[in-house]
Structures are given as C-alpha cells and as structure tokens.
Amino acid sequence: MRARFARRKFSGLAPLGLALTAVLAGCQKANPPMDTLAPKSDFANWIYGLFVEVTAWDLFILLIVVVAFVLAVFVFSRRDGEAEAASTVHTDMRLELAWTLGPAFILLMISIPTIRTIFREELPAPPANSLKVSVIAHQWWWEFRYPGTSIVTANELHIPEHRPIWVSLRTADVIHSFWVPALGGKRDVIPGQINHLWFIANTPGEYYGQCAEFCGDSHANMRFRVFVDTPEQFAAWEKNQEAGPVQPASGTAAAKGAAIFANSPCTACHTITGVSKGYIGPNLTHIATRTTIAGAIMKNDPKDLKAWIENPDALKPGANMPTLGLRGPELDNLVAYLESLK
C-alpha cells in the first residue's frame, strides 16, 4: 500500500517537475547567469575572496559539529543499565572554556576580513584618474550620465578596462539597488541620498545587471548591461556619443519618421539633441547604438521596437510610456527613424 501510494504521488508530481525543469532551462538559455563566482573586477574579487574565507570557516564549524555529534552518540553516550559516570561535562572547565571562546574566535576571524573589505571599498573621494559616472534609477529603467561630457544614455553603461570607475547613485522615485554581480556588490539607491561605489574592471565583455530591491510592478524588468571596453573601444564610443544625432536623408522613411517624432507626444518625454528636450524618459539621441530597449528586457531591433511602441504596458506592466496609437506606415517610419540614430 505504501509503495503504491509513493508511486502514485511521484507520478502526480512528475509533470510539474518536468515543466519546472523546462522553464529553468529556458531561462538559463535566454539570460546568461549573473555569476558572483566569476569576478571580473577588483571589487568583485574582494567579495569572492571574502566568500571563500567565510565558507572555509563554515566548513570548519561543520566538521567540529559532526565530530562532536559522532563522539556524543557513539563514545560518550550512557546506555540503559550502565552506571552513571562520576563526573559530567559540566565539571570540565576546559571544555566549557572551549565552547565559549571557540565561537568568539571564529566570529573574530570572520569579522576581520569582512571589515577589511568594507573599508577597501568605502573611499572618501574618487581614486586618481577615475571615470565618474552618475547613475539615476527610475521606475523601471536606468539613466547613465558622464559628468564633464554631454553623454546621457540609458540601460547600457560603457566603461574602459583597467581604469577606476567612480559611480554616484541616486534615485528619481523609490528605493532601488544597483547590482552587477560580476563587477561588485549591491549598493542601495535611496531617495534624498547619494551613494557611491567604485571598482576597476579587468576583463572586457558584456555583463548583466539588475535592480536588487523590490520597487514596483516591473521590478524584475529593471535590468541593464555593463560593457567593459578596451581603452580604444571606449574612446571611439565616447566620441560617437558626444556627436549630434544622424540626420536622415530627405525623402527616406527615416526622414518621414523624424517628422512624426517631432510632432508627437514623444518630444515631451524623450530628448534627442537638437530635436526635443524631454526629461521623463530615456535619452534617444543615439538609441540605435544600444543593443537593448525597455530596461534591457528586449532586443533593439525593428521588430521589438515596433512591438514596444505599439503597446508598452503589455510588455512591461506599469510602464509610464503611453500607447501612442500609431499604426501601419506611420509606425514603420518612426521605427526607421529611431533605428537610424547612431
């Protein structure tokens, strides 16, 4: 009876397990893992080293507990019929000192590297030759500004390798949390306060970031990317971003889309240098140079951009971008214009 019940229970849960496995496999394929165990900056290396130290002490504690358990069960336990020992553990002063001072010593050995890591990251001023980046968190996207330049971008942060990056964090609305696992630890973004973090990325590549503090309906859709460039790649990107937007050739679909944009509600929210001065949504001056849109949840290609403009709230619940009602050639021309802004 018991065996039949177990088989019936397992067979009932099997479809659920298979479905969960398929979903997790799909997520893994769609989004590379944000791995804290593959550090790509000095800050991430410090955190990884701290993790290894604490884990080593945890294993040491586990070993002590297991050994004590085995001794208590198989060596020092008293069985029925046996005479009670003349002395008990309560009279062993050395043992009492060991289990009192031992945990205190372990806590001390864990706290020292923890405090050291905190002080290494908490600098009072930017390091020499650092690149300063101002990060502004919005529901539900990230704005990146480069002080001393005219560069303003969204959801994709470009930085050079082997150079200190000094990040200033503030929010335009509620509490958020800035987190790029491969480059460093989480840092809260709190209303009315500017927080800082700094790191030196050591490996060029593309790294995923995420808001790590629940901030509303589309918290899970508040993602971003960090591109660590070589110095030459970053200089070329910086030069392109400081230039004005590309002017579409007369008579093209992009030119028609430019006219549609200039006469639409888009201008009230989005900035395109020399065209509009919106202050609510992401800067679109060089939107075509980005790989993603909509808080880095969609590819920046004509198909996804068109779907996003048609019905943003269906793709990102709670998005502040209104449905414009554009259809057919008008929408196609607007998309062509935005995709020309390189």
Residue 176 lies inside a defined structural domain of this protein: yes
Indicate if the pLDDT at residue 11 is higher than 80. no
- Are 194 and 319 in the same domain? no
Backbone angles phi, psi at 41, to 5 degrees: -150, 170
- What 273-280 contacts at long range (C-beta under 8 Å, 24+ apart), as own/partner pairs, is 273/150, 273/244, 273/245, 274/244, 274/245, 275/245, 280/320
Q: DSSP letters of 144-191?
A: EE-TTS--EEESEEEEETTSEEEEEEEESSS-EEEE-TTT---EEE-T
Number of domains in the chain: 2
270 and 214 within one domain: no
Domain limits for position 46: 32-72+92-242
Q: Within this chain, do residues 110 and 41 fall inside the same structural domain, yes or no?
A: yes
Within-domain flag for 24: no
Of 11-20, 143-152, 321-330, the range with the lowest mean pLDDT is 11-20
φ, ψ of residue 290 to 5 degrees: the values are -90, 150
Domain shared by 257 and 235, yes or no: no
Residue type, 132: K
- Asked if 295 and 222 count as a contact pair (C-beta separation under 8 A), the reply is yes
pLDDT single digits (tens) 19-63: 433 333 334 444 457 888 889 999 999 999 999 999 998 898 889
The answer on 281 and 151 residing in a single domain is: no
Mean pLDDT of 234-245: 93
Classify residue 291: in a domain, yes or no: yes
pLDDT digits (tens, 9 = 90+) for 111-135: 888 888 888 888 888 888 999 999 9
Instruction: Indicate the burial class of 163 (C-beta count within 10 angstroms; 0-12, 13-18, 19 or more).
Output: middle
Total residue length of the chain: 342
The answer to whether residues 261 and 160 belong to one domain is no
Residue 299: other Cβ atoms inside 10 A? 13
Considering the domain architecture, whether residues 203 and 306 belong to the same structural domain is answered as no
Q: Are 44 and 36 in contact (CB under 8 A)?
A: yes
Secondary structure letter of residue 137 according to DSSP: E
Co-location of 46 and 135 in the same domain: yes
Single-letter amino acid, residue 44: A
17 found inside a domain: no
Residue 185: which of 194, 177, 193 has the closest Cα?
177
Q: What is the DSSP string of 245-300?
A: PPPPPTTSHHHHHHHHHHTSTHHHH-EETTTEE--SS---TTGGG-SEETTTTEE-
Residue 142: beta bridge partners?
137
Q: Is residue 13 part of a domain?
A: no
The pLDDT value recorded for residue 18 is 34
Dump pLDDT digits (tens) for 174-210: 999 999 999 988 999 999 999 999 999 999 999 999 9
Q: Is residue 22 part of a domain?
A: no
> What's the whole-number mean pLDDT along residues 333-337?
94
Is residue 307 domain-resident? yes
- Give the mean pLDDT of the chain: 84
Same domain, 188 and 65: yes
C-alpha to C-alpha distance for 325 and 283, rounded to whole angstroms: 21
- Same domain for 184 and 116, yes or no, is yes
Rg over alpha carbons for the chain, rounded to the nearest Å, is 28
